Structure 1
């Protein structure tokens, strides 16, 4: 009787071990695929990022849980303002979460960029960018973006670029630099899992954005034509595309 119980327990442990091994292998393959498909479309030097009419800025919290300014938010805002000055983009689509009256990522981004001298005409706010998928789905379906520059951290760009391509957006990634934060390993681990989940979203269960709404084509004014906005490099972005 004891021997029979041990055989059953061993079989269960072997099955669990096999399942864990297969899950780890699937996670590894999915990540290698996403990274391999997007690596060549990521630029790490802002002045070398490909010029596009639209830059898509992904929202994140202004503050960390410890109550300090989020370095990821700071880096995205700093890079976005600089890309406008460098004439790498003409217009910024600020997309983020607006889940409550007291939490509004797009407005926070808009206020920060206004403080950096970015004109209102150079920004459009998307209040329903609840996730990376939602931001890109709405960029294509609502705002009519067919190509653009994705502005976020390097660890986020592979997944964002992969989703953009699947949704019909011809995109390049512009990686913004930021200081390492406490517990960044947890963020990296979550991103590995998110890349695997993205494949399911796109190819298995057909994920849809939480909210679309009517089309709202972007009104883009070339930066060189906007009064009071200094251009750091010669020639409008449109001439270099």
Structure 2
């Protein structure tokens, strides 16, 4: 027979066991959903320029900051720019839609990408700047509704492409991915965890609360 002192301990142990099982279930669900997310899109991603799809006229290049907080060059930025330039020079695409954040006069991702591409001999006439690509979803929704695209090659790092491809396909776009070089895995651990969380949030954005872009605007079809 339990004493009065033993009852609270038994009650706490029972609830701790239940919480542990719930936590384990959530972790397993997260891992399963994440694996499904990646495997679903893997066949649409290529790493090398010469293997990337060549039946798309436009590549969408996702913006990011040119420099890290430390002041060092951001390998994500330069990897995307260099891959986009290589695709253009190899005639895999004709035009580049550079989409990113332009939150202040001093922070302009699309313009910085365009200038970096100029240094790589990509003419400005072959680029279009989307200043309201404030997120992956916003970039792709605007690509469809503002720039009137139905098909595009997506250029970003391989960890980001499964989410970008899934969003694009959910919006009815025909897409493939061309993975840009990025940082070493040792520098990616925290970013990978953030990306896993972003993938799960994307499911809610698309299928539960019907997310809309922060800025949409009138149609501006690409002319090239």
TM range (shorter): over 0.9
The unaligned stretches of length 5 or more in structure 2 are none
Per the alignment, in what secondary structure is the counterpart of residue 63 of structure 1?
A: coil
Query: Deviations 1:151-206 (Å, cap 9, x if unpaired)?
Result: 01111111110111001110000011234175310011111111111111111111
The unaligned stretches of length 5 or more in structure 1 are 221-241
Per the alignment, in what secondary structure is the counterpart of residue 33 of structure 1?
A: helix
5 Å-filtered alignment, 1:104-115, equals 104-115=108-119
Is 1:67 aligned with 2:71?
yes
Q: How far, CA to CA, are the matches of 1:205 and 1:181 in structure 2? A: 33
2:15 alignment partner, one of 12, 17, 24 = 12
Q: How far, CA to CA, are the matches of 1:140 and 1:213 in structure 2? A: 12
* Shift in Å, 1:211: 1.0
1:86 alignment partner, one of 83, 90, 94 = 90
Please say if residues 92 and 122 of structure 1, whose CA atoms lie closer than 8 Å, have aligned partners that are also in contact.
yes
Structure possessing the higher relative contact order (Cα contacts under 8 Å, 6 or more residues apart): 1
Query: Deviations 1:201-221 (Å, cap 9, x if unpaired)?
Result: 11111111111000010012x
State TM-score, norm by structure 2. 0.94
2:184 alignment partner, one of 175, 180, 186 = 180
* Shift in Å, 1:127: 0.7
Q: Report the number of matched residues.
A: 220
Superposition misfits of 4+ residues, deviation over 2 angstroms = none
Per the alignment, in what secondary structure is the counterpart of residue 57 of structure 2?
A: strand
Q: How far, CA to CA, are the matches of 1:205 and 1:80 in structure 2? A: 33
Please say if residues 46 and 176 of structure 1, whose CA atoms lie closer than 8 Å, have aligned partners that are also in contact.
no
1:26 alignment partner, one of 29, 48, 61 = 29
* Shift in Å, 1:97: 0.8
State TM-score, norm by structure 1. 0.88
Give me the CA root mean square deviation: 1.3
Q: How far, CA to CA, are the matches of 1:146 and 1:112 in structure 2? A: 27
Q: How far, CA to CA, are the matches of 2:78 and 2:166 in structure 1? A: 24
Query: Deviations 1:35-73 (Å, cap 9, x if unpaired)?
Result: 121111001111111111010000011011221000111
